A and B are shown apart, each in its own frame.
Chain A
């Protein structure tokens, strides 16, 4: 089979699998999102490197739900006084440094006890993600974990120990879909994760319509008049979102 076609077919199978084995959990998590947001809570999102793709898929997105907010490593360097070299060398992620990094990161934002968290970690073993998970649970806040279970099991992840509920990216470990006579290429995990994020958006929308008759849906910023509509949704939260 032509290689692009083969990639597409494998990706579609993984998306179908992600839906089949998890659609009930997707509904349950979306209901948690909706309940949190109805109580004027924000769903806080965090992931590192490729795991940030899932975060971006829920955070301030066209056709997305407004009260999400992302904690971003880039903010540490742009606003938090952390040196770029300490991010690039991975120093901020070392187990002995993650408490300090978590302090700096969480200190940048207006976090609230009404918020809940989604932590994304393909392998479920990032020390910084685990540090955040411990803090979220110590503060009795709800925690959703998103992992790639095959990678999680292979790499000794522990994130699920802290999670109230979790989702699987349904991709293989290592995350390569194609084999060109021994050469492995073609990652799928982040794209499946993005589809999961959009399914969560759809179900959170459904929650709002059922409970409140309307939903806080953002418009694309590249459509005329979108700014006014979007600002009306986010302004009540002040610095808690955006």
Chain B
């Protein structure tokens, strides 16, 4: 029978597996990000659905890196001049219209040394693949976080037939199962999921390592501390880019 302890024991095992199997990839991603920040770059984070949690988890708290920008389709309404009626159209679904990624990309101040983290558990949907492809086309480094077990067995919904991980300079497997649901039951369904937790572990370990690498460079650390004046100054420095 599935109970809380079943989940707790399995997630602890999975976190260990994630660390053991992905530490080298997370290390490579952290170096890529630290290099970008050192060269005045910003990290743009894009994830759809529940994948938005990763960017939120490493932003706006004590110890968080400041040069992190979360790309959000709601920005079409907030800053892209799209009406709420159009954005929430239930028939002609806004996020599935052509060139959504290009329009979103163009809403932001994206500069030469910026890097991208694109997250999708399935890695098969159009918008995330388009964002990663656009970032690559524009010469940016891209880190992909995905479930290799899921993405390798589902068909791509992108016209190119490609999967998200194919666009990564660094690819991190969140080690989640196909369909994200973890625990088998006596029935056809599997219950509970892991991707938000595994993605947070990837993001938090990566962020901590980025700060450690930047510290070795003896530059002013662009992180939030208990000094609110300093925080405001750093936020102002990055301005509209974050």
> Is B truly associated with A?
yes
Instruction: Report A's interface with B, CB cutoff 8 A.
Output: 2-5, 7-8, 11-12, 15-16, 19, 23, 26-27, 30, 49-50, 52-53, 56-57, 61-64, 74, 77-79, 84, 174-176, 178, 180-181, 183-188, 190-191, 194-195, 198-203, 205-206, 209, 214-215, 217, 219-224
Q: Is the CB of B125 within 8 A of A222?
A: yes
Q: B192–A198 contact, CB under 8 A?
A: yes
CB distance from B96 to the nearest CB of A (A): 13
A15 to B57, Cβ gap below 8 A?
no
Known: A52-B56, A206-B2. A198 touches B212 (CB 8 A): no
Report chain B residues within 8 Å CB of A64: 191-193
- Are B88 and A78 within 8 A (Cβ)? yes
Tell me whether A223 and B208 are in contact in the complex, defined as CB-CB below 8 angstroms, given that A8-B15, A26-B4 are known contacts.
no
Q: For B209, what are the chain A residues with a Cβ–Cβ distance below 8 Å?
A: 3-4
A202 → chain B, closest Cβ, in Å?
4
Q: Are A223 and B2 in contact (CB under 8 A)?
A: no
Query: Within the complex, what minimum Cβ distance (angstroms) separates A47 from chain B?
Result: 11
Q: Which chain B residues numbered 155 to 190 have a C-beta less than 8 Å away from chain A?
A: 178-183, 185-187, 189-190
B207→A53 contact, CB < 8 A: no
Partner of B87, one of A53, A78, A174: A78
Say whether B50 faces chain A, with CB atoms less than 8 Å apart: yes
The contact of A4 among B8, B60, B208, B226, by CB within 8 Å, is: B208
Of the listed stretches B61-69, B98-106, B129-137, B232-240, name the one at the interface; the rest are far from the partner chain. B61-69
Pick out which of these stretches binds chain A: B36-44, B109-117, B195-203: B195-203
Point out the residues of chain B lying under 8 angstroms from A185, CB to CB: 63, 207-208, 211, 223
Cα separation A59 to B78 with both chains bound (whole Å): 24
Whether A198 pairs with B2 at a CB distance below 8 angstroms is no
B2 touches A202 (CB 8 A): yes
B19 close to chain A: CB less than 8 A: yes
Whole-angstrom distance from the CB of A130 to the nearest CB of chain B? 21
Residue from A178, A181, A222 in contact with B150 in the complex, judged by beta carbons closer than 8 Å:
A222
Using Cβ atoms and an 8 Å threshold, which residues of chain A touch B196? 53, 56-57, 194
- The answer to whether A63 and B181 touch across the interface, beta carbons within 8 angstroms, is yes
Closest to B6 in A: A202
Please measure, in the bound complex, the distance between the C-alpha atom of A94 and the C-alpha atom of B125, giving whole angstroms.
Answer: 40
- When A8-B201, A56-B196, A186-B207 are in contact, do A223 and B5 touch as well, CB less than 8 Å? no
Tell me the count of chain B residues lying within 8 A, CB to CB, of chain A: 72
**Please, how many angstroms separate the alpha-carbon atoms of A82 and B84 in the complex?**
12
The answer for the CA separation of A190 and B64 in the assembled complex, in Å, is 14
Q: Are A183 and B221 in contact (CB under 8 A)?
A: yes
Give chain A nearest CB distance to B227 CB in angstroms. 12
Query: Smallest Cβ distance from A51 to chain B, in angstroms?
Result: 10
Chain A residues within an 8 Å CB radius of B221: 183
Query: Roughly how many angstroms separate A84 CA and B79 CA in the complex, as a whole number?
Result: 10
Could you say which residues of chain B place their CB within 8 Å of the CB of A178?
63, 208
What's the Cα separation between A41 and B53 when bound, in Å? 27
- Tell me which residues across on chain A come within 8 A of B183, comparing CB atoms: 63, 202
The answer to whether residues A61 and B50 also contact, given A185-B223, A202-B6 and a CB cut-off of 8 A, is: yes
Is there a chain A Cβ closer than 8 Å to B217's Cβ? no
Q: Are B181 and A220 in contact (CB under 8 A)?
A: yes
Of all chain B residues, the one with the shortest Cβ separation from A200 is: B4
A26: B residues at CB distance < 8 A: 4
- Least Cβ–Cβ distance between B22 and chain A, in angstroms: 9
**A residues in contact with B1, CB < 8 Å:** 206, 209
Per the bound structure, the CA–CA distance linking A52 and B122 in Å amounts to 22
Asked if A195 and B11 sit within 8 Å, CB to CB, the answer is yes
Compute how far the CA of A187 lies from the CA of B226 in the bound complex, rounded to whole angstroms.
15
In the complex, are the beta carbons of B212 and A186 less than 8 A apart?
Answer: no
On whether the beta carbons of A62 and B180 are closer than 8 Å, the reply is yes
Q: How far is the CA of A174 from the CA of B226 in the complex (A)?
A: 10
**Top 7 A-B pairs, shortest CB-CB distance:** A63-B181, A222-B122, A199-B4, A4-B205, A185-B63, A62-B180, A217-B189
Query: In the complex, what residues of A have CB within 8 A of residue B4's CB?
Result: 19, 23, 26-27, 30, 199-200, 202-203
Q: Which of B60, B182, B189 contacts A49 (CB 8 A)?
A: B60
**Chain B residues, Cβ within 8 Å of A7:** 201, 204-205, 208
Chain A residue nearest to B54 in the complex (CB): A53
* Most A C-beta atoms less than 10 A away, residue of B87, B185, B208, B212: B208
- Specify the chain B residue showing the minimal Cβ separation from A203: B4
